[in-house]
Protein backbone atom coordinates (compact mmCIF):
# COMPACT_ATOMS: atom_id res chain seq x y z
CA UNK A 1 0.00 0.00 0.00
CA UNK A 2 2.78 2.43 0.86
CA UNK A 3 5.24 0.81 -1.47
CA UNK A 4 4.98 3.45 -4.22
CA UNK A 5 4.71 6.48 -2.00
CA UNK A 6 8.47 6.90 -1.91
CA UNK A 7 10.01 7.57 -5.30
CA UNK A 8 13.49 6.24 -5.84
CA UNK A 9 15.77 9.13 -6.66
CA UNK A 10 17.69 6.85 -8.99
CA UNK A 11 14.92 5.58 -11.23
CA UNK A 12 16.34 3.79 -14.17
CA UNK A 13 15.83 5.26 -17.62
CA UNK A 14 16.27 3.79 -21.10
CA UNK A 15 19.62 4.41 -22.73
CA UNK A 16 18.14 6.75 -25.39
CA UNK A 17 17.04 9.20 -22.72
CA UNK A 18 20.29 8.90 -20.80
CA UNK A 19 22.29 9.55 -23.96
CA UNK A 20 20.37 12.77 -24.54
CA UNK A 21 20.89 13.80 -20.92
CA UNK A 22 24.59 13.12 -21.16
CA UNK A 23 25.04 15.02 -24.41
CA UNK A 24 23.09 17.96 -23.04
CA UNK A 25 25.21 17.98 -19.88
CA UNK A 26 28.40 17.87 -21.95
CA UNK A 27 27.39 20.99 -23.88
CA UNK A 28 26.37 22.67 -20.66
CA UNK A 29 29.72 21.97 -19.04
CA UNK A 30 31.63 23.10 -22.12
CA UNK A 31 29.76 26.40 -22.11
CA UNK A 32 30.19 27.08 -18.40
CA UNK A 33 33.59 25.53 -17.67
CA UNK A 34 35.31 24.99 -21.00
CA UNK A 35 36.24 21.87 -22.87
CA UNK A 36 39.38 21.19 -20.87
CA UNK A 37 37.39 21.03 -17.64
CA UNK A 38 35.00 18.44 -19.02
CA UNK A 39 35.65 15.30 -16.98
CA UNK A 40 33.54 12.18 -16.72
CA UNK A 41 33.47 12.71 -12.96
CA UNK A 42 31.99 16.19 -13.28
CA UNK A 43 29.64 14.95 -15.97
CA UNK A 44 28.26 12.17 -13.76
CA UNK A 45 27.83 14.56 -10.88
CA UNK A 46 25.90 17.08 -12.95
CA UNK A 47 23.47 14.46 -14.21
CA UNK A 48 23.18 12.84 -10.80
CA UNK A 49 24.44 9.38 -11.65
CA UNK A 50 27.61 7.43 -11.00
CA UNK A 51 30.61 7.72 -13.26
CA UNK A 52 30.38 4.08 -14.21
CA UNK A 53 26.81 4.52 -15.45
CA UNK A 54 27.99 6.92 -18.16
CA UNK A 55 29.95 4.10 -19.72
CA UNK A 56 26.79 2.00 -19.95
CA UNK A 57 25.49 4.52 -22.50
CA UNK A 58 28.66 5.53 -24.34
CA UNK A 59 31.78 3.40 -24.88
CA UNK A 60 34.19 6.33 -24.39
CA UNK A 61 34.10 10.04 -23.65
CA UNK A 62 35.26 10.75 -27.19
CA UNK A 63 32.22 8.90 -28.52
CA UNK A 64 29.97 11.42 -26.77
CA UNK A 65 31.72 14.26 -28.60
CA UNK A 66 31.47 12.46 -31.93
CA UNK A 67 27.77 11.81 -31.32
CA UNK A 68 27.18 15.50 -30.65
CA UNK A 69 29.03 16.47 -33.81
CA UNK A 70 26.86 14.04 -35.76
CA UNK A 71 23.76 15.66 -34.26
CA UNK A 72 25.03 19.04 -35.40
CA UNK A 73 25.55 17.75 -38.88
CA UNK A 74 22.05 16.32 -39.01
CA UNK A 75 20.02 19.02 -37.23
CA UNK A 76 21.99 22.20 -37.84
CA UNK A 77 23.43 21.66 -41.30
CA UNK A 78 20.27 19.80 -42.30
CA UNK A 79 18.15 22.78 -41.26
CA UNK A 80 20.40 25.23 -43.07
CA UNK A 81 20.28 23.13 -46.23
CA UNK A 82 16.49 23.13 -46.23
CA UNK A 83 16.46 26.92 -45.98
CA UNK A 84 19.18 27.47 -48.59
CA UNK A 85 17.44 25.25 -51.14
CA UNK A 86 13.90 26.51 -50.52
CA UNK A 87 11.84 28.36 -53.13
CA UNK A 88 11.75 31.70 -51.35
CA UNK A 89 13.57 34.76 -52.64
CA UNK A 90 17.25 35.04 -51.66
CA UNK A 91 16.95 37.89 -49.11
CA UNK A 92 14.22 36.00 -47.27
CA UNK A 93 16.36 32.87 -47.36
CA UNK A 94 19.36 34.80 -46.05
CA UNK A 95 17.29 36.14 -43.16
CA UNK A 96 16.00 32.70 -42.23
CA UNK A 97 19.49 31.27 -42.60
CA UNK A 98 20.88 33.76 -40.10
CA UNK A 99 18.00 33.42 -37.66
CA UNK A 100 18.14 29.63 -37.74
CA UNK A 101 21.89 29.73 -37.07
CA UNK A 102 21.49 32.03 -34.13
CA UNK A 103 18.56 30.15 -32.65
CA UNK A 104 20.31 26.80 -32.90
CA UNK A 105 23.46 28.10 -31.26
CA UNK A 106 21.70 29.91 -28.43
CA UNK A 107 19.62 26.83 -27.73
CA UNK A 108 22.76 24.69 -27.66
CA UNK A 109 25.22 27.04 -26.05
CA UNK A 110 28.26 24.76 -25.88
CA UNK A 111 28.35 23.90 -29.55
CA UNK A 112 30.22 26.91 -30.93
CA UNK A 113 33.03 26.41 -28.47
CA UNK A 114 33.07 22.67 -29.03
CA UNK A 115 33.28 22.94 -32.82
CA UNK A 116 35.85 25.67 -32.71
CA UNK A 117 38.04 24.08 -30.04
CA UNK A 118 37.97 20.55 -31.37
CA UNK A 119 38.62 21.73 -34.90
CA UNK A 120 42.02 22.92 -33.84
CA UNK A 121 43.67 19.63 -33.05
CA UNK A 122 44.45 16.73 -35.26
CA UNK A 123 44.28 13.88 -32.76
CA UNK A 124 41.16 12.35 -34.23
CA UNK A 125 41.20 12.33 -38.02
CA UNK A 126 37.60 11.20 -38.41
CA UNK A 127 36.35 13.93 -36.07
CA UNK A 128 38.37 16.59 -37.83
CA UNK A 129 36.89 15.54 -41.15
CA UNK A 130 33.37 15.86 -39.76
CA UNK A 131 34.16 19.32 -38.43
CA UNK A 132 35.69 20.42 -41.71
CA UNK A 133 32.56 19.27 -43.47
CA UNK A 134 30.36 21.25 -41.07
CA UNK A 135 32.33 24.44 -41.68
CA UNK A 136 32.47 23.95 -45.44
CA UNK A 137 28.77 23.08 -45.70
CA UNK A 138 27.84 26.33 -43.99
CA UNK A 139 30.00 28.33 -46.36
CA UNK A 140 28.74 26.50 -49.42
CA UNK A 141 25.06 26.89 -48.53
CA UNK A 142 25.41 30.58 -47.78
CA UNK A 143 27.35 31.07 -51.01
CA UNK A 144 24.50 29.45 -52.90
CA UNK A 145 21.99 31.92 -51.47
CA UNK A 146 24.22 34.85 -52.39
CA UNK A 147 24.86 33.59 -55.91
CA UNK A 148 21.12 33.05 -56.43
CA UNK A 149 20.52 36.61 -55.28
CA UNK A 150 23.10 37.92 -57.72
CA UNK A 151 21.61 35.85 -60.56
CA UNK A 152 18.17 37.27 -59.79
CA UNK A 153 19.57 40.79 -59.79
CA UNK A 154 18.71 41.70 -56.19
CA UNK A 155 22.36 41.86 -55.17
CA UNK A 156 25.46 43.33 -56.77
CA UNK A 157 27.39 40.93 -58.97
CA UNK A 158 30.73 42.43 -57.96
CA UNK A 159 30.35 41.27 -54.35
CA UNK A 160 33.16 38.94 -53.16
CA UNK A 161 31.05 35.93 -52.27
CA UNK A 162 33.85 34.05 -50.54
CA UNK A 163 34.60 36.97 -48.23
CA UNK A 164 30.98 37.48 -47.26
CA UNK A 165 30.67 33.81 -46.43
CA UNK A 166 33.77 34.09 -44.30
CA UNK A 167 32.39 37.07 -42.45
CA UNK A 168 29.26 35.07 -41.73
CA UNK A 169 31.35 32.32 -40.14
CA UNK A 170 32.36 34.76 -37.43
CA UNK A 171 28.81 35.58 -36.40
CA UNK A 172 28.32 32.52 -34.18
CA UNK A 173 31.44 33.44 -32.28
CA UNK A 174 30.50 37.10 -31.92
CA UNK A 175 27.27 35.78 -30.52
CA UNK A 176 29.08 33.46 -28.17
CA UNK A 177 31.37 36.16 -26.84
CA UNK A 178 28.32 38.31 -26.25
CA UNK A 179 26.57 35.44 -24.48
CA UNK A 180 29.54 34.91 -22.21
CA UNK A 181 30.06 38.57 -21.40
CA UNK A 182 26.34 39.15 -20.79
CA UNK A 183 25.98 35.80 -18.99
CA UNK A 184 23.53 34.29 -21.47
CA UNK A 185 21.13 37.20 -21.84
CA UNK A 186 20.55 38.13 -25.47
CA UNK A 187 17.58 39.15 -27.58
CA UNK A 188 17.98 36.43 -30.18
CA UNK A 189 15.47 37.64 -32.78
CA UNK A 190 16.72 41.21 -32.53
CA UNK A 191 20.32 40.07 -32.97
CA UNK A 192 19.46 38.02 -36.01
CA UNK A 193 17.51 40.85 -37.61
CA UNK A 194 20.37 43.31 -37.16
CA UNK A 195 22.85 40.90 -38.70
CA UNK A 196 20.53 40.45 -41.67
CA UNK A 197 20.26 44.18 -42.22
CA UNK A 198 24.03 44.52 -42.23
CA UNK A 199 24.68 41.63 -44.57
CA UNK A 200 21.92 42.74 -46.91
CA UNK A 201 23.49 46.18 -47.12
CA UNK A 202 26.88 44.63 -47.74
CA UNK A 203 25.48 42.73 -50.71
CA UNK A 204 23.67 45.62 -52.41
Partner DNA sequence: ATCCTATATGTAAGCATTTACTCACTTAAA
Partner DNA sequence: TTTAAGTGAGTAAATGCTTACATATAGGAT
Q: Report the partner that residue 11 touches, choosing among its own copies, DNA, none (CB closer than 5 to 8 A by kind).
A: DNA
The C-alpha atoms of residue 13 and residue 6 are separated, in whole angstroms, by 17
Region near DNA per CB under 7 A, out of 52-60, 116-124, 171-179, 196-204 = 52-60
CB nearer to DNA: give 10 or 163.
10
Q: Which of 8, 181, 185, 187 binds its own copies (CB under 8 A)?
A: 181
Q: Is position 181 an interface residue for DNA (rule: CB under 7 A)?
A: no
Alpha carbons within 13 angstroms on the beta-carbon side of residue 139 total: 16
Give the nearest distance from C-beta 202 to its own copies in angstroms.
Answer: 5
- Of 109, 127, 119, 123, the residue nearest 34 (C-alpha): 109
The C-alpha atoms of residue 161 and residue 182 are separated, in whole angstroms, by 32
Cα torsion through 32, 36, 42, 46, rounded to 10: 30
Q: Is position 184 an interface residue for its own copies (rule: CB under 8 A)?
A: no
Binding to DNA in span 22-51, by CB under 7 A? 37-42, 49-51
Strand extents, DSSP E, the chain: none
Query: What is the per-residue binding string for its own copies in 119-138, x denoting contact by CB under 8 A?
Result: xxxxx--------x--xx--
Q: Is position 189 an interface residue for its own copies (rule: CB under 8 A)?
A: no
Dihedral sign (CA 74, 78, 80, 81)? positive
The C-alpha atoms of residue 158 and residue 141 are separated, in whole angstroms, by 19
Q: Is position 166 an interface residue for its own copies (rule: CB under 8 A)?
A: yes
The C-alpha atoms of residue 76 and residue 97 are separated, in whole angstroms, by 11
Interface residues with its own copies (CB under 8 A) are 30-37, 113, 116-123, 132, 135-136, 160, 163-164, 166-167, 169-174, 176-178, 180-181, 194-195, 197-198, 201-202
Amino acid sequence: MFANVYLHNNMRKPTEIRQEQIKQAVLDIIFTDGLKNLSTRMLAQRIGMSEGAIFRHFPTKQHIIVDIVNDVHKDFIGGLRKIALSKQNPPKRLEEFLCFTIKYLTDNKGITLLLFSEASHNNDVQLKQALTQIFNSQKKLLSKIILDGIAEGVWDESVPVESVAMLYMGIPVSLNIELILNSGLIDSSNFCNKMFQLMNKMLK
